[in-house]
Chains A and B, each alone.
Chain A
Amino acid sequence: MTVRPSRLAAFAGILALLLLIPQIVPVLYVNVISRAAVYGILALSMNVLVGYAGQASLGHAAFLGVGAFASGYALSELGMPFGAAVVVAAIVGMVAALVLGGVALRVSGLYLALVTIAFGLFAQETLFNIRFLTGGGAGQVAPRPSLFQGDVAYTYLCLGVLLLVLIFDWRLVASRPGRAIQALRDDERVAASWGINVTGHKLMAFVISGAIAGIGGALFASIEQIVSKEDFGLSLSITFLLMTVVGGAGNRWGVVQGGILFAVLPTILDRTHANFHVFPFTGLTATWEPAIGAILLLLTLTLFPGGIAQQQGALLSWLGGGPFKRDHDAQGAAQGGGMGARP
């Protein structure tokens, strides 16, 4: 692939925008940008599972939470450095995914969705209430690393990690296991007939997804520098699913935009921070934001299975090295990824 100057300029522009945003956003909202970066990471985590492997998790908030509490515990109780705490969070997320997926994926994708729902509820009611690990109702403290103490500096850290996860995602898709995962999404029988271990690769996708969610959790914990179990309800899990599908399951640029959209939506709808952690099922205060998300989801699934990515087809094709033209053949497939209609 030859990188033309215009395309290079576009990438430079995106990078400059990312670097500028934390500087120009009012201080009050800088943490919203950090949250958007974390949601972008979570969207990529969901995308590995939903977009590439064609499976769904309805309990990803629990993986975020597991990573957040693991990191918080490592930082404040064990006195680990931030980098080590992120690694701990990633490993804990992987192990949780390995255990749940190892049991559920032997049966079918539907059961993985069920097990993740049950895991989400268990995490919220049991795991995150264990006082010595999570601080119970008081919450677990998760200090920021000394180099990234300020809100703006921490935002750059979150954006930097998002970039790293994007690069990993790009490599994964082009790798042998990444291709095998996408092959089984399209047709498990064909993948098996080519000698691809179907269950093993589904499990691999789930474990990778768990690790990325764990990393996202570690970053999430240090945004407000304290986490409590109220942050990780069932509706947040559904929100993660919404932003992946609305963004365009299977397309990394689409899902990241979906993540950012859902992270800033509450702020746009209500410029006070009061509604920030509020979601239904946990039932605190009312807000219309989840309803908007749900309607976007239903519109996406029924009318535009490719999501935001499908709308930007031409632009994304050009950024990816192709012509500035919507790839019609690819629409239901590469871009509609895990959620598109099956022929």
Chain B
Amino acid sequence: METVIEVIVFGLQRGAIFGLVGLGLALVYKATRILNFAQGELGTVPAFAALMLMIGFESSGDKAANRGLLLPAIVLAVVIGAALGVALYVAVIRPLGKVSPVTSLVATAGVALLLTTLELNVFEARARRFPRPVNGGFRLIGTSVIVDWHTVVILAVLGGVALALAAFFRSAPGVALLATADDPFAAELQGVPVERMRAMAWGAAGALGALAGVLGAGVFESLTPGLVTSTFMIPAFTGVVLGGITSMVGAVVGGFALGIVSQAAIQIVTSYNLDVPGPPQLAVLLVLLAVLLVRPQGLLGRLA
């Protein structure tokens, strides 16, 4: 029983980050019908910016991060994430023009590679300590399971973001944004500023990415180049598909499901002493294939 609770607690922590990344993916897909492979690096780059602020912009030294500056650092990260998102839309997505979803996915994969290479060359391929907003944890009542305060923080942020997005898509600008995705031409005729709405959606996705980057680095208390892409992106993708690709609630639920499934896979392999390497990656692939076989429209979405 304790093990099950432990799996769920750890699963929720990872799953919440998957959910944050997934919300960014779903938002961009909803607004522009593009699956953004660079979403992960919209998180890692701002996280590095936050780290730079906390260590006083000394890239060479291994100076400890000043936790007192964490809050302004997070604000900086969010601003940079939003700017990166808008820049990505203006500099890459818009010049691409009307292309197939597969082509735009390829383009964003190129962007991810570009950003990771930049990080590698500026910050070198090594881990740097990255602080959490709140340290320590508490014992879950009636058990011996310790819950990190960081988990609570991530869940709270995810909840807040999800509520804000849900409210947004019920508001007039939100409805207009959806209209631009469904029929850009008609939306334009009705006076919706299509280009600005789309750039805003990418900016918002960038801000979400930044939160995922900062909190995700906090999970490991360390930051390496390409971190969000290599650890969170693929489960987040799978979670979004599981949730139904355009559904915001689905992205969060899918993220949690993937977090718990990955954690359970690790637990099963360790407790039965199985000789199976990489259980989370195996679990992610199996979940993805199973969803596509049984319910390709996802749990909460409609087949486009």
Give the B-binding residues of A (Cβ under 8 A): 54-56, 58, 100, 103-104, 106-107, 109-111, 113-115, 117-119, 121-122, 124-126, 129-131, 234-235, 238, 241-242, 245, 280-281, 283-291, 293-295, 297-298, 301-302, 338-342
Q: Are the CB atoms of B296 and A117 closer together than 8 Å?
A: no
Q: Are the CB atoms of A280 and B225 closer together than 8 Å?
A: yes
Among residues 255 to 304 in chain B, which have CB atoms less than 8 Å away from a CB atom of chain A?
Answer: 275-282, 284-285, 288-289, 292-293, 296, 303
| Given pairs A291-B118, A339-B99, 9 additional interface contacts (CB within 8 A) | A58-B105, A58-B109, A103-B293, A106-B292, A114-B241, A115-B288, A118-B288, A280-B113, A342-B99
Which A-B residue pairs are the 6 nearest by beta carbons? A125-B278, A129-B277, A294-B114, A126-B278, A291-B117, A297-B110
B225 contacts across to A, CB distance below 8 A:
280, 283
- Asked if B230 CB lies within 8 Å of chain A CBs, one says yes
B106 contacts across to A, CB distance below 8 A:
56, 241, 245, 297, 301, 339
Q: Distance in Å from the Cβ of A287 to the closest Cβ of chain B?
A: 8
Among residues 103 to 124 in chain B, which have CB atoms less than 8 Å away from a CB atom of chain A?
Answer: 103, 105-107, 109-114, 116-121, 124
- The 5 listed contacts between A and B (C-beta, < 8 Å) are A56-B103, A126-B279, A235-B116, A301-B107, A341-B97
- Asked if B238 CB lies within 8 Å of chain A CBs, one says yes
A290 contacts across to B, CB distance below 8 A:
113-114, 116-117
B interface: dominant SS: helix
Q: Are the CB atoms of A294 and B113 closer together than 8 Å?
A: yes
In the bound assembly, the distance between CA atoms of A327 and B218 in angstroms comes to 55
In the bound assembly, the distance between CA atoms of A278 and B235 in angstroms comes to 24
In the bound assembly, the distance between CA atoms of A117 and B109 in angstroms comes to 11
- Asked if B92 CB lies within 8 Å of chain A CBs, one says yes
- Among B110, B125, B238, B280, max chain A CB count under 10 A is at B110
Q: Are the CB atoms of A54 and B293 closer together than 8 Å?
A: no
Q: Are the CB atoms of A302 and B238 closer together than 8 Å?
A: no
Q: Are the CB atoms of A281 and B229 closer together than 8 Å?
A: yes
Q: Distance in Å from the Cβ of B33 to the closest Cβ of chain A?
A: 10
Q: Are the CB atoms of B277 and A288 closer together than 8 Å?
A: no
A to B contact number (C-beta, < 8 Å): 170
In the bound assembly, the distance between CA atoms of A142 and B263 in angstroms comes to 36
- Asked if B167 CB lies within 8 Å of chain A CBs, one says no
B289 contacts across to A, CB distance below 8 A:
100, 103-104, 115
Say which size band chain B's interface belongs to: 35 or more
- Asked if B89 CB lies within 8 Å of chain A CBs, one says no
Known: A126-B282, A297-B107. A114 touches B288 (CB 8 A): yes
B275 contacts across to A, CB distance below 8 A:
131
Give the A-binding residues of B (Cβ under 8 A): 35, 37, 92, 95-103, 105-107, 109-114, 116-121, 124-125, 224-226, 229-230, 234, 237-238, 241, 275-282, 284-285, 288-289, 292-293, 296, 303
What residue of chain B has the Cβ atom nearest to residue A56's Cβ?
Answer: B102
Q: Are the CB atoms of B234 and A117 closer together than 8 Å?
A: yes
Q: Are the CB atoms of A122 and B285 closer together than 8 Å?
A: yes
Q: Are the CB atoms of A111 and B241 closer together than 8 Å?
A: yes
A339 contacts across to B, CB distance below 8 A:
99, 103, 106
Q: Are the CB atoms of A341 and B99 closer together than 8 Å?
A: yes
Q: Are the CB atoms of B98 and A341 closer together than 8 Å?
A: yes
Q: Are the CB atoms of B118 and A302 closer together than 8 Å?
A: no
Quick one: which of A286, A288, A289, A338 contacts B124, CB cutoff 8 A? A286
A124 contacts across to B, CB distance below 8 A:
278, 281
Q: Are the CB atoms of A54 and B109 closer together than 8 Å?
A: no
Known: A110-B101, A286-B125, A341-B98. A125 touches B110 (CB 8 A): no
Quick one: which of B96, B224, B237, B293 contacts A283, CB cutoff 8 A? B224
Known: A117-B237, A118-B284, A121-B284. A283 touches B226 (CB 8 A): yes
Q: Are the CB atoms of A121 and B234 closer together than 8 Å?
A: yes
Q: Distance in Å from the Cβ of A342 to the closest Cβ of chain B?
A: 6
A286 contacts across to B, CB distance below 8 A:
117, 120-121, 124-125
B230 contacts across to A, CB distance below 8 A:
234, 281, 283
Q: Distance in Å from the Cβ of A177 to the closest Cβ of chain B?
A: 21
Known: A113-B102, A125-B278. A302 touches B288 (CB 8 A): no
A238 contacts across to B, CB distance below 8 A:
109-110, 112-113
In the bound assembly, the distance between CA atoms of A211 and B279 in angstroms comes to 27
What residue of chain B has the Cβ atom nearest to residue A113's Cβ?
Answer: B105
Q: Are the CB atoms of B101 and A302 closer together than 8 Å?
A: no
Q: Are the CB atoms of B96 and A301 closer together than 8 Å?
A: yes
Q: Distance in Å from the Cβ of B168 to the closest Cβ of chain A?
A: 25
- Among A100, A114, A340, max chain B CB count under 10 A is at A114
Q: Distance in Å from the Cβ of A152 to the closest Cβ of chain B?
A: 33
Q: Are the CB atoms of A122 and B282 closer together than 8 Å?
A: yes
Q: Distance in Å from the Cβ of A252 to the closest Cβ of chain B?
A: 19
Q: Distance in Å from the Cβ of B269 to the closest Cβ of chain A?
A: 10
A110 contacts across to B, CB distance below 8 A:
35, 101-102, 105
What residue of chain B has the Cβ atom nearest to residue A110's Cβ?
Answer: B101
Quick one: which of A283, A291, A301 contacts B125, CB cutoff 8 A? A283
What residue of chain A has the Cβ atom nearest to residue B91's Cβ?
Answer: A298
Q: Are the CB atoms of A298 and B110 closer together than 8 Å?
A: yes
Q: Distance in Å from the Cβ of A304 to the closest Cβ of chain B?
A: 12
